[in-house]
Amino acid sequence: MTRDGDWLRGPGVGDMKACVVMAAHALGVALARRPAGLGAVEVLVVPDEELGSPASRGWIEARAREADACLGLEAGWPGGGVVVARGAVGAVYVTARGRTAHCAAHEDEGASAVAALAPLVAALESCSRGSARVSVGVFRGGTARQVVPDEAELHVDLRAPDATAADELLDRVREAVALVRAPGVSVELRGGWTRPPFEEDRSARLLGLAAARAAELDLPLVPERSRGGSDASFAAALGVETLDGLGPICHDSCARDERIEI
């Protein structure tokens, strides 16, 4: 993390690093002023959020069930955007296993896992419909230029606006994978939806409170509906009032020039 005038720059600067500092500062102010009616505040710092929080989800949901509200410190949007709703997020992995052989001596004895999966990239991404989207983010396989590759893998990102669209999208993905036909190659799909939709009605009351405070401070506050994932979605899906995107305002999230406003 580096400071450049009115910006902090660095990979992930809009997520964990700056958000923990903001949470600590906000809690310090709250404790100093001791607002009436405040019972307890818990801060959850999650180590595997970028992976979909596979090990932390149960813990997050257990704490959410004990909470009256959830405030998510995912990065805020340029112009003062806070997140009032999110779609479903998923991750699936397609693995192909074939048979190695030297490509110039015994190529007819090999079965290429890479060749089996290559056409699947376009087939999977064509499963997208409207805002329900499929994106292949990683395609890797093989061990050497002169060897028929016996293993290959696709890492596939799924996004859907609601639960119905999510189910339909995953069905189309499964059908596309099931159509792969390559002699001597087996194909396996694993994974699914990692975060549920965050419905907008969960944020309505908290947005009203936040808007009133923002007006007092003469700060912009704009409701945004995001396709990005967040651990706050776990709380919202359990019926807990939730408002997200309350972290630092971030530009070019996940890009090399990711930066936040100070």
pLDDT in tens, 223-239: 999 998 899 999 999 99
Q: Which residues span the domain enclosing 41?
A: 2-87+198-261
State residue 69's pLDDT score.
Answer: 96
Based on the fold, state whether residues 71 and 19 are members of the same structural domain. yes
User: What pairing do the DSSP bridges indicate for beta strands 186-195 and 133-141?
Assistant: unpaired
Choose one of 195, 212, 229: the last residue of a domain: 195
Give the residue from 255, 236, 215, 259 showing the smallest Cα distance to 72.
Answer: 236
Based on the fold, state whether residues 105 and 76 are members of the same structural domain. no
Segment 27-63, tens digit of pLDDT: 898 889 887 887 888 999 888 888 888 899 999 999 9
Q: What token pair was written down for 247?
A: 């972290």
Q: CA end-to-end span of the chain, whole Å?
A: 13
Looking at the 3D structure of the chain, how many domains does it have? Answer: 2
Give the residue from 188, 233, 190, 254 showing the smallest Cα distance to 89.
Answer: 233
User: What pTM did the predictor assign?
Assistant: 0.84
Based on the fold, state whether residues 113 and 154 are members of the same structural domain. yes
